[in-house]
Amino acid sequence: MDVYNKDILRWTTRIPHLGRLDHPQVSAARTSRICGSRLTAEAVLDAGKITDFAQEVKACALGQASAAIVGQNVIGLDAVTLADVHHRFSDMLKGAAPDFPEPWAGLAVLAPVRDYPGRHGSVMLPFEVLTDLFEAAG
């Protein structure tokens, strides 16, 4: 399966929550050391859940697809759910079969990335940035 297949490329045009927030509670940015992809995000949390979110994505198609899929599920996200999905995604990149609960099943489209370790950093950026946001919120 080609890593830059039509399903992955389709996601690059559907990145939600682009831009910046007027009054973010927390912000975080990460850059992949290998490919230079960068993701910056801002959020507002209430009772441990993201209630408002914005992101700026400067990444390859794979990083854009990952940000789009994760971004569609970010409102209402809590740290426990994030940790679970992050773990499942990491396992998939290490060779495990995709195993995501709804509404995260779309992440399975990124399974071909497992064969390209140099691209793992880019697709992991949304998880790393969101982890940073939750840590910054305390």
Interval 5-54: pLDDT, tens:
999 999 999 999 999 999 999 999 999 988 899 999 999 999 999 999 99
Residues pairing with 61 in the sheet: none
- Tokens encoding 5: 């297949």
* Residue 87 pLDDT greater than 90, yes or no: yes
Sheet holding 38-46, edge to edge: 26-31, 38-46, 49-58
Q: What is the pLDDT of residue 35?
A: 87
Q: Has residue 1 got a pLDDT over 70?
A: no
- List, in order, residues 6 or more apart from 86 with CB less than 8 Å away: 127, 130, 131
pLDDT of residue 112: 96
Compute the average pLDDT of residues 100-121.
Answer: 96
* Torsion angles phi and psi, residue 43, rounded to 5: -150, 160
Residue 45's SS3 state is strand
CA–CA gap between residue 81 and residue 57 (Å, rounded): 22
**Would you place residue 72 in the very low, low, confident or very high pLDDT band (cuts 50, 70, 90)?**
very high
